[in-house]
Structure 1
């Protein structure tokens, strides 16, 4: 039951996120649906290609319908979504938390080892957003500007080590991941960067 709930939450959140980006980029209706679907299912497809089978996507007809309904809502009522544009990162946070937990649970249920659970959590959590940003000709934020994948990895660790197994514990983990993601955006938390100029100066002085 928990697995299904996270699947639905993540699908809606990322479908809305992808469709909103497409509208902002002034794409036509085809682009809007393409972006919404790619963002909603991209992470799961990448995970399945590496660990399981991509054909499992086609058995998710219910989730595909949910995704299409969410995208249609954004297309018909764009002003509603753009009115709260500054809160878009909340949809990303919700999608990240839901799919990170769902991805870890899914692979764990297949009997894969801890390493696969961690990889699945990250790929499912960030994969759709990365593909969306690439299609929108944007540098994926996860690789250079924001703490994103770390929170997905955290979810994988908690599930992989068996620290959260009951539904309430999983929902609490989901809430923590969403909260940490939102806080990291608000306060501008970043991972360490390496400056080429700084390394060059260090070499010259040594």
Structure 2
């Protein structure tokens, strides 16, 4: 139940995110659908490749592809004046997708009895991989590589699940809420990781 719920929420959130960014970049209808689908499933495909699951396993998730297509179509039907406010609530949608997919990816690896390192990698790739591919295809700097705190929250989700601290459904829902809230707080209050800059020689 938890797995299916998180997969559904993450799929909707990232499909919407990819579709709206495609519209911002003035992609045609085909481009909007492609970017939405890639955003929703790109991270999972890379995760499967690295933890030993056939990439073709994605094709068994026909219900999620249907959900993604419906979500993208719904966004395309929104009035233009609503889409102009994307910058205000787009990060929230992205935060939902990050939390849902990070937890789902960690659960996937933990269910396969992988070590902690693989669980964390699966969480990060599933939570942020689709967004990285989306931003690259849209010609943008990937959000996860900016100075905002982003992938750290996926790592946190992987650590908690890897340690076995989230075993029941309500634990996972609570973790989902916490990761989403932390991501929202990090971009609202501009939390940043330490940086190391190279000073140009004179």
Question: TM-score under structure 2 normalisation?
Answer: 0.95
Q: Distance in 1 between matches of 2:148 and 2:197?
A: 17
**What is the 5 A alignment of 1:113-192?**
113-192=115-194
Find the aligned partners of 1:145 and 1:20 in 2 and give their Cα distance.
23
- Correspondence list, 1:36-115, <5 A: 36-51=36-51, 52-79=53-80, 80-115=82-117
Residue matched to 1:2: 2
The separation in 2 between residues aligned to 1:85 and 1:185, in whole angstroms, is 12
Deviation at 1:84, TM superposition (A): 4.5
Q: Does 1:26 align with 2:26?
A: yes
Which digits, 9 at most, give the CA deviation of each residue in 1:83-138, with x for residues without a partner? 34311000100000000000000111112111111110000000000000000111
Give the Cα–Cα distance (whole angstroms) in 2 for the partners of residues 53 and 179 of structure 1. Answer: 33
Deviation at 1:82, TM superposition (A): 3.0
Unaligned runs of 5+ in 1: 202-206
Q: Which moved more, 1:29-38 or 1:108-117?
A: 108-117
Secondary structure at the aligned position of 1:137 is classed as coil
Give 1 or 2: higher helix fraction: 1
Task: List alignment gaps of at least 5 residues for structure 2.
Answer: none
Larger radius of gyration: 1
Provide the secondary structure at the position in 2 that maps to 1:107.
helix
Aligned residues, how many? 200
